[in-house]
Amino acid sequence: MSYGGQIAWDDTVLPFQLDRSDIRGRVVRLDTALERVLARHNYPPAVEALIAEAALLTAMIGQTIKLRWRLSLQIRGDGPIRLIATDYYAPEAEGKPARIRAYASFDADRLSAQTPPFPQIGKGYFAILIDQGRSMTPYQGITPITGASLADCAQTYFEQSEQLPTRFALGYGRTILPGQAEKWRAGGVMLQHMPQAAGTSPRERETLVEDWSRVNLLLDTVEDLELVGPNVQPPELLLRLFHEEAPRVFDPQAVHFGCSCSEEKVRQSLSIYSAKDISTMTTPEGTVTADCQFCGAHYVMDPGTLGFEAPDDKG
């Protein structure tokens, strides 16, 4: 293990591998990034909890995508919480931070303070989407809402879509540290079995199953306070849980809050409309406005500069 206490571990993803067990994983910590995601909205506690869980999963899964790609989670249901959407933007270049954003859509009149958050999604689907950039077909994988948490949905996705045994242990909530205001903290561990090589013998497969079972039993011993920190740092957590599995860590990835919206993108989205259509969007004050669902940015534009003019149709 090569990282010590001098690293600022909040808002980071630490990839690791258990050499004895041929299992890889990530440890994630989100605090300021999650606070900034949630601060843009006045979500009820149940919605905040689901966004915290989804953000953790997004950071863990997104860490593996290539530079400049985007990974998104979409959780849609027929319950009071209709949509949880997250985006993870891979770094623009080596050494740069990744960016994360999230938002939710819900029916406040149907929400129940007495019902746990996850069941309030109802029936629906859990989707992972990967945007590889221009001229590339986006990847999309979908599984039904299942289990008792978003982590269960993610585990089912990897088992069914990727045929990779995967396990998540997550912790999140509002915490108060000495001398600080109450704030959100979140952390978790992801485990994933490495793909089996072609020609793996029955005895080798049996050993892999035994390794996976043993490491999962070790992960079962983790406590929420160890996951969210800040007193137990990610390298220390790996040693506490897996010291006999020979954990080996790789370079940590910083994760910041960041939104990709801009006035230019809003204008581009409105460019498909005619001047007549734009007129129906114009406010009594004579402007066209748009709000970003993720970050809350508010754009005010002159309608005369938007859309396209329909050709004359006089004949």
216-264 pLDDT per residue, tens: 999 999 999 999 988 899 999 999 999 999 999 999 999 999 988 788 8
Tell me: pLDDT of 60 over 60. yes
pLDDT category at 289 given cuts 50, 70, 90 is confident
Q: Give yes or no for a cis peptide into 144 (omega within 30° of 0).
A: no
Question: Are 92 and 225 within one domain?
Answer: yes
Three-class DSSP category at 88:
strand
Confidence of residue 312 (pLDDT cuts 50, 70, 90): very low
The confidence score (pLDDT) of residue 18 equals 96
Predicted pLDDT of residue 199: 64
The average pLDDT across 117-141 equals 92
pLDDT attached to residue 195: 77
d(CA 124, CA 177): 38
Above 50 in pLDDT, residue 25? yes
d(CA 98, CA 100): 7
SS3 282: coil
Q: Are residues 221 and 73 in the same domain?
A: yes
How much is the average pLDDT of 132-151?
A: 90
Residue 104 and residue 216 share a domain: yes
Regarding predicted confidence, which is higher, 25 or 180? Answer: 25
For residue 270, what are the domain limits? 264-305
> Measuring CA to CA, how many Å separate 25 from each of 57, 119, 193, 277?
12, 28, 8, 50
114 pLDDT more than 80: yes
Q: Are residues 277 and 225 in the same domain?
A: no
pTM: 0.87
Token reading at 173: 């909530």
Cα(91)–Cα(88) distance, integer angstroms: 9
Query: Do 218 and 190 share a structural domain?
Result: yes
Please report where in the chains the tokens 């406010």 appear, as a residue: 283
Residue with tokens 């990034």: 33
94 and 214, same structural domain?
yes
Please name the residue ranges forming H helices in the chain: 32-39, 45-62, 150-157, 202-219, 224-228, 234-242, 263-270, 275-281
Residue 287 lies in a domain: yes
Residue 168 located in a structural domain: yes
**228 within 8 A of 173, measured Cβ to Cβ:** yes
Q: What count of other Cβ atoms lies within 10 Å of the Cβ of residue 275?
A: 13
Confidence of residue 309 (pLDDT cuts 50, 70, 90): low
Residue 77 is part of a domain; what is its CATH number? 3.55.30.10
In angstroms, the CA 154 to CA 77 distance is: 15
In this prediction, residue 5 has a pLDDT band, given cuts at 50, 70 and 90, of very low
